[in-house]
Amino acid sequence: MNASPPIVAVCLNPAVDVTYPVHRLIPDSSHRVTGVLSRAGGKGLNVARVLRQLGADATVLGLAGGASGARVADELAHLEVPAHFTRIAGETRRTVTVLSGDEATVFNEAGPQVTAAEWDTFRSDFADRTGGARMVVLSGSVPPGVPETAYAELTGLARRNGATVLVDATGPLLRHALTAEPDVVKPNAHEVGDLVGVPVRTRDGAVTAARELIGRGARIAVVSRGAAGFVAVTPDLACAVGVSERVPGNPTGAGDALAAVLALGLACRDPWLAVLSAGAAVSAAAVACSQAGEFDADVADWLRPGVTVDFI
Protein backbone atom coordinates (compact mmCIF):
# COMPACT_ATOMS: atom_id res chain seq x y z
CA MET A 1 0.00 0.00 0.00
CA ASN A 2 1.00 3.61 -0.47
CA ALA A 3 1.61 6.02 2.43
CA SER A 4 -1.67 6.70 4.18
CA PRO A 5 -3.63 9.89 3.63
CA PRO A 6 -5.55 11.19 6.66
CA ILE A 7 -8.46 8.97 7.71
CA VAL A 8 -11.09 9.87 10.31
CA ALA A 9 -12.87 7.07 12.24
CA VAL A 10 -16.05 8.26 13.95
CA CYS A 11 -17.12 6.63 17.22
CA LEU A 12 -20.23 8.38 18.57
CA ASN A 13 -20.98 5.72 21.20
CA PRO A 14 -17.66 4.47 22.60
CA ALA A 15 -17.71 2.22 25.65
CA VAL A 16 -15.65 0.89 28.47
CA ASP A 17 -15.86 -2.81 27.71
CA VAL A 18 -15.68 -4.80 30.94
CA THR A 19 -15.15 -8.56 30.96
CA TYR A 20 -16.11 -10.70 33.97
CA PRO A 21 -14.72 -14.24 33.92
CA VAL A 22 -16.91 -16.58 35.97
CA HIS A 23 -16.70 -20.28 36.62
CA ARG A 24 -20.21 -20.88 35.31
CA LEU A 25 -23.13 -18.54 34.61
CA ILE A 26 -26.21 -19.61 36.55
CA PRO A 27 -29.22 -17.29 36.04
CA ASP A 28 -30.92 -16.09 39.25
CA SER A 29 -27.83 -16.64 41.42
CA SER A 30 -24.83 -14.67 42.70
CA HIS A 31 -21.40 -14.95 41.08
CA ARG A 32 -18.01 -14.07 42.44
CA VAL A 33 -16.17 -12.54 39.52
CA THR A 34 -12.64 -13.97 39.38
CA GLY A 35 -11.13 -10.93 37.67
CA VAL A 36 -12.07 -7.68 35.99
CA LEU A 37 -10.71 -6.83 32.54
CA SER A 38 -11.51 -3.39 31.20
CA ARG A 39 -10.78 -1.84 27.79
CA ALA A 40 -11.96 1.02 25.61
CA GLY A 41 -14.36 -0.31 22.98
CA GLY A 42 -16.82 0.58 20.27
CA LYS A 43 -16.76 -0.20 16.54
CA GLY A 44 -15.18 3.12 15.55
CA LEU A 45 -12.35 2.57 18.04
CA ASN A 46 -11.77 -0.94 16.69
CA VAL A 47 -11.57 0.46 13.16
CA ALA A 48 -9.05 3.08 14.31
CA ARG A 49 -6.91 0.50 16.13
CA VAL A 50 -6.74 -1.75 13.07
CA LEU A 51 -5.96 1.27 10.87
CA ARG A 52 -3.13 2.13 13.22
CA GLN A 53 -1.83 -1.46 13.13
CA LEU A 54 -1.91 -1.17 9.31
CA GLY A 55 0.28 1.94 9.58
CA ALA A 56 -2.47 4.37 8.58
CA ASP A 57 -2.79 8.02 9.63
CA ALA A 58 -6.07 7.57 11.57
CA THR A 59 -7.81 9.98 13.94
CA VAL A 60 -10.86 9.21 16.10
CA LEU A 61 -13.72 11.69 16.46
CA GLY A 62 -16.51 10.98 18.90
CA LEU A 63 -18.58 11.87 21.93
CA ALA A 64 -17.39 11.15 25.47
CA GLY A 65 -18.43 12.13 28.98
CA GLY A 66 -17.86 11.40 32.63
CA ALA A 67 -15.28 9.14 34.21
CA SER A 68 -15.69 6.38 31.63
CA GLY A 69 -15.36 8.92 28.82
CA ALA A 70 -12.09 10.12 30.34
CA ARG A 71 -10.96 6.52 30.56
CA VAL A 72 -11.63 5.92 26.85
CA ALA A 73 -9.70 9.08 25.93
CA ASP A 74 -6.78 8.13 28.21
CA GLU A 75 -6.53 4.67 26.71
CA LEU A 76 -6.41 6.00 23.14
CA ALA A 77 -3.73 8.51 24.18
CA HIS A 78 -1.75 5.64 25.70
CA LEU A 79 -2.09 3.69 22.42
CA GLU A 80 -0.98 6.85 20.55
CA VAL A 81 -4.18 6.91 18.50
CA PRO A 82 -4.96 10.62 17.97
CA ALA A 83 -8.51 11.36 19.11
CA HIS A 84 -10.77 14.32 19.66
CA PHE A 85 -13.88 13.71 21.73
CA THR A 86 -16.61 16.32 21.92
CA ARG A 87 -17.46 16.45 25.61
CA ILE A 88 -20.97 15.62 26.74
CA ALA A 89 -22.57 15.90 30.17
CA GLY A 90 -23.77 12.26 30.22
CA GLU A 91 -21.50 9.39 31.09
CA THR A 92 -19.98 7.22 28.36
CA ARG A 93 -21.51 3.74 28.50
CA ARG A 94 -20.09 0.46 29.64
CA THR A 95 -20.63 -2.99 28.27
CA VAL A 96 -20.31 -6.09 30.42
CA THR A 97 -19.32 -9.46 28.96
CA VAL A 98 -19.62 -12.47 31.26
CA LEU A 99 -17.19 -15.14 30.09
CA SER A 100 -17.53 -18.76 31.18
CA GLY A 101 -15.44 -21.10 29.08
CA ASP A 102 -16.40 -20.41 25.46
CA GLU A 103 -19.72 -18.79 26.43
CA ALA A 104 -19.89 -14.99 26.18
CA THR A 105 -23.01 -13.34 27.61
CA VAL A 106 -23.04 -9.66 26.72
CA PHE A 107 -24.92 -6.73 28.27
CA ASN A 108 -24.87 -3.54 26.19
CA GLU A 109 -25.86 -0.22 27.73
CA ALA A 110 -27.57 2.10 25.23
CA GLY A 111 -25.28 5.03 26.02
CA PRO A 112 -25.67 8.49 27.55
CA GLN A 113 -28.44 10.91 26.64
CA VAL A 114 -27.01 13.47 24.20
CA THR A 115 -28.60 16.92 23.98
CA ALA A 116 -29.40 18.71 20.72
CA ALA A 117 -26.76 21.33 21.60
CA GLU A 118 -24.11 18.63 22.14
CA TRP A 119 -24.96 17.05 18.80
CA ASP A 120 -24.68 20.47 17.11
CA THR A 121 -21.25 20.93 18.69
CA PHE A 122 -20.15 17.53 17.42
CA ARG A 123 -21.30 18.30 13.87
CA SER A 124 -19.37 21.54 13.98
CA ASP A 125 -16.24 19.79 15.34
CA PHE A 126 -16.67 17.11 12.68
CA ALA A 127 -16.93 19.68 9.86
CA ASP A 128 -13.79 21.44 11.15
CA ARG A 129 -11.74 18.29 11.64
CA THR A 130 -12.57 16.44 8.44
CA GLY A 131 -11.37 19.33 6.28
CA GLY A 132 -8.12 17.54 5.41
CA ALA A 133 -9.40 13.96 5.55
CA ARG A 134 -9.31 11.73 2.49
CA MET A 135 -11.58 9.12 4.06
CA VAL A 136 -14.22 9.15 6.82
CA VAL A 137 -15.49 5.93 8.43
CA LEU A 138 -18.85 6.08 10.26
CA SER A 139 -19.24 2.96 12.42
CA GLY A 140 -21.56 1.54 14.99
CA SER A 141 -24.48 2.67 17.09
CA VAL A 142 -25.28 6.18 18.30
CA PRO A 143 -26.30 7.13 21.84
CA PRO A 144 -29.84 8.26 22.72
CA GLY A 145 -30.57 11.81 21.55
CA VAL A 146 -28.41 11.58 18.43
CA PRO A 147 -30.86 11.53 15.50
CA GLU A 148 -31.34 8.56 13.16
CA THR A 149 -30.21 10.88 10.38
CA ALA A 150 -26.77 11.28 12.05
CA TYR A 151 -24.79 9.30 9.48
CA ALA A 152 -26.70 10.92 6.62
CA GLU A 153 -25.80 14.37 7.98
CA LEU A 154 -22.14 13.43 8.57
CA THR A 155 -21.90 11.81 5.13
CA GLY A 156 -23.10 15.08 3.60
CA LEU A 157 -20.62 17.17 5.62
CA ALA A 158 -17.71 14.85 4.81
CA ARG A 159 -18.57 14.74 1.11
CA ARG A 160 -18.67 18.54 1.02
CA ASN A 161 -15.15 18.46 2.54
CA GLY A 162 -14.06 16.21 -0.33
CA ALA A 163 -13.71 13.02 1.72
CA THR A 164 -14.72 9.52 0.70
CA VAL A 165 -17.23 8.03 3.18
CA LEU A 166 -17.64 4.45 4.42
CA VAL A 167 -20.71 3.67 6.56
CA ASP A 168 -20.83 0.53 8.73
CA ALA A 169 -24.19 0.78 10.50
CA THR A 170 -27.56 -0.88 10.80
CA GLY A 171 -31.28 -0.13 10.82
CA PRO A 172 -32.52 3.44 10.48
CA LEU A 173 -28.96 4.86 10.69
CA LEU A 174 -28.01 2.93 7.56
CA ARG A 175 -31.35 3.54 5.83
CA HIS A 176 -31.01 7.32 6.21
CA ALA A 177 -27.29 7.25 5.39
CA LEU A 178 -28.04 5.70 1.99
CA THR A 179 -30.03 8.79 1.00
CA ALA A 180 -26.82 10.84 1.37
CA GLU A 181 -25.10 8.53 -1.16
CA PRO A 182 -22.07 7.29 0.80
CA ASP A 183 -19.19 5.80 -1.20
CA VAL A 184 -19.24 2.47 0.63
CA VAL A 185 -21.62 0.70 3.00
CA LYS A 186 -20.56 -2.46 4.85
CA PRO A 187 -23.38 -4.08 6.83
CA ASN A 188 -23.34 -7.78 7.67
CA ALA A 189 -25.77 -10.25 6.13
CA HIS A 190 -28.06 -10.27 9.15
CA GLU A 191 -28.21 -6.46 9.28
CA VAL A 192 -28.84 -6.00 5.58
CA GLY A 193 -31.56 -8.67 5.71
CA ASP A 194 -33.36 -6.60 8.33
CA LEU A 195 -33.05 -3.50 6.15
CA VAL A 196 -34.26 -4.98 2.86
CA GLY A 197 -36.90 -7.13 4.57
CA VAL A 198 -35.60 -10.46 3.21
CA PRO A 199 -33.33 -12.73 5.30
CA VAL A 200 -29.90 -13.05 3.66
CA ARG A 201 -28.72 -16.65 3.96
CA THR A 202 -26.74 -17.33 0.79
CA ARG A 203 -23.99 -15.75 -1.30
CA ASP A 204 -26.47 -14.88 -4.02
CA GLY A 205 -28.86 -13.45 -1.45
CA ALA A 206 -26.05 -11.23 -0.20
CA VAL A 207 -25.32 -10.03 -3.75
CA THR A 208 -28.99 -9.23 -4.31
CA ALA A 209 -29.12 -7.29 -1.04
CA ALA A 210 -25.90 -5.44 -1.92
CA ARG A 211 -27.42 -4.41 -5.26
CA GLU A 212 -30.45 -3.13 -3.37
CA LEU A 213 -28.11 -0.96 -1.23
CA ILE A 214 -26.55 0.44 -4.41
CA GLY A 215 -30.03 1.08 -5.78
CA ARG A 216 -30.75 3.09 -2.64
CA GLY A 217 -27.69 5.31 -3.00
CA ALA A 218 -24.41 3.57 -2.11
CA ARG A 219 -21.66 3.51 -4.72
CA ILE A 220 -20.15 0.27 -3.36
CA ALA A 221 -21.82 -2.27 -1.06
CA VAL A 222 -19.91 -4.90 0.89
CA VAL A 223 -21.95 -7.47 2.83
CA SER A 224 -20.00 -9.56 5.33
CA ARG A 225 -21.04 -13.16 5.96
CA GLY A 226 -18.98 -14.21 8.99
CA ALA A 227 -16.69 -17.18 8.40
CA ALA A 228 -18.06 -17.41 4.81
CA GLY A 229 -16.28 -14.14 3.87
CA PHE A 230 -18.07 -11.30 2.13
CA VAL A 231 -19.55 -10.15 -1.14
CA ALA A 232 -18.47 -6.85 -2.70
CA VAL A 233 -20.62 -5.19 -5.34
CA THR A 234 -19.84 -2.09 -7.40
CA PRO A 235 -21.81 -0.81 -10.41
CA ASP A 236 -19.36 -2.76 -12.62
CA LEU A 237 -18.42 -5.84 -10.65
CA ALA A 238 -19.79 -8.33 -8.15
CA CYS A 239 -17.58 -10.83 -6.39
CA ALA A 240 -17.50 -13.14 -3.39
CA VAL A 241 -14.30 -13.09 -1.35
CA GLY A 242 -13.14 -15.52 1.32
CA VAL A 243 -10.20 -17.33 2.84
CA SER A 244 -9.61 -21.02 2.33
CA GLU A 245 -8.65 -21.73 5.96
CA ARG A 246 -10.99 -21.64 8.92
CA VAL A 247 -9.55 -19.48 11.71
CA PRO A 248 -10.76 -20.32 15.22
CA GLY A 249 -11.15 -17.54 17.77
CA ASN A 250 -13.22 -14.47 18.54
CA PRO A 251 -15.19 -13.12 15.53
CA THR A 252 -16.06 -9.84 17.33
CA GLY A 253 -14.21 -7.08 15.51
CA ALA A 254 -13.65 -9.02 12.25
CA GLY A 255 -16.15 -6.73 10.50
CA ASP A 256 -14.37 -3.67 11.89
CA ALA A 257 -11.05 -5.00 10.56
CA LEU A 258 -12.66 -5.39 7.11
CA ALA A 259 -13.98 -1.82 7.29
CA ALA A 260 -10.48 -0.59 8.19
CA VAL A 261 -8.86 -2.35 5.22
CA LEU A 262 -11.53 -1.11 2.81
CA ALA A 263 -11.13 2.45 4.12
CA LEU A 264 -7.35 2.43 3.84
CA GLY A 265 -7.33 0.76 0.43
CA LEU A 266 -9.86 3.20 -1.01
CA ALA A 267 -8.09 6.17 0.59
CA CYS A 268 -4.82 5.02 -1.00
CA ARG A 269 -6.57 4.26 -4.31
CA ASP A 270 -5.10 0.77 -4.27
CA PRO A 271 -6.32 -1.72 -6.91
CA TRP A 272 -9.79 -2.93 -5.92
CA LEU A 273 -9.07 -6.66 -6.03
CA ALA A 274 -5.96 -6.17 -3.90
CA VAL A 275 -8.06 -4.28 -1.36
CA LEU A 276 -10.67 -7.05 -1.25
CA SER A 277 -8.01 -9.73 -0.89
CA ALA A 278 -6.34 -7.84 2.00
CA GLY A 279 -9.75 -7.32 3.59
CA ALA A 280 -10.48 -11.04 3.59
CA ALA A 281 -7.08 -11.93 5.05
CA VAL A 282 -6.99 -9.21 7.72
CA SER A 283 -10.57 -9.71 8.88
CA ALA A 284 -10.02 -13.47 9.21
CA ALA A 285 -6.73 -12.74 11.02
CA ALA A 286 -8.68 -10.53 13.46
CA VAL A 287 -10.55 -13.66 14.56
CA ALA A 288 -7.20 -15.07 15.73
CA CYS A 289 -6.88 -12.20 18.27
CA SER A 290 -8.88 -12.39 21.47
CA GLN A 291 -9.38 -8.60 21.50
CA ALA A 292 -11.51 -6.76 18.94
CA GLY A 293 -9.51 -4.04 17.17
CA GLU A 294 -6.42 -6.17 16.57
CA PHE A 295 -5.34 -8.71 13.96
CA ASP A 296 -2.56 -11.27 13.87
CA ALA A 297 -0.28 -9.99 11.10
CA ASP A 298 1.43 -13.39 10.70
CA VAL A 299 -1.93 -15.11 10.26
CA ALA A 300 -2.94 -12.44 7.71
CA ASP A 301 0.27 -13.06 5.72
CA TRP A 302 -0.32 -16.80 5.90
CA LEU A 303 -3.94 -16.48 4.71
CA ARG A 304 -3.30 -13.99 1.90
CA PRO A 305 -2.17 -16.47 -0.82
CA GLY A 306 -5.25 -18.65 -0.13
CA VAL A 307 -7.81 -15.85 -0.53
CA THR A 308 -10.45 -16.79 -3.11
CA VAL A 309 -12.26 -14.24 -5.30
CA ASP A 310 -15.24 -15.56 -7.26
CA PHE A 311 -16.70 -13.23 -9.88
CA ILE A 312 -20.45 -13.42 -10.05
Residue of 25, 127, 268, 273 interacting with its own copies (CB under 8 A): 25
Catalytic, 301? Answer no
> Among residues 84 and 94, whose Cβ is nearest to its own copies?
94
Please count the CA atoms within 13 angstroms of the CA of 50 that sit on its side-chain side.
39
**Angle at which helices 171-179 and 150-160 cross, to 10°:** 40
Positions 28 through 47 that interact with its own copies (CB under 8 A): 28-33, 36
Examine residue 22 and tell whether it contacts its own copies (CB under 8 A): yes
Least Å from the CB of residue 193 to its own copies: 17
SS (H, E, C) 268-299: CCCCHHHHHHHHHHHHHHHHCCCCCCCCCHHH
Q: In what order do the strands lie in the sheet with 230-233?
A: 83-87, 57-64, 6-11, 135-139, 164-168, 184-185, 220-224, 230-233, 238-242, 308-311
CB of 66 to its own copies, least distance (A): 8
Q: Closer CB to its own copies, residue 100 or residue 234? A: 100
Please state the φ and ψ torsions of residue 75, each to the nearest 5 degrees.
-65, -40
Query: What track of x and - describes contact with its own copies for positions 79 through 108 (by CB under 8 A)?
Result: --------------x--x-x-x--xxxxxx
Q: Which listed residue (68, 130, 155, 164) binds its own copies by CB under 8 A?
A: 68
Torsion of the alpha carbons at 11, 151, 285 and 293, rounded to the nearest 10: 0
Does 1 bind its own copies (CB under 8 A)? Our answer is no
Q: Tell me if 109 contacts its own copies by CB under 8 A.
A: yes
Smallest distance, Å, CB 241 to its own copies? 26
Q: Name the site residues for its own copies (rule: CB under 8 A).
A: 20, 22, 25-33, 36, 66-68, 70-71, 93, 96, 98, 100, 103-110
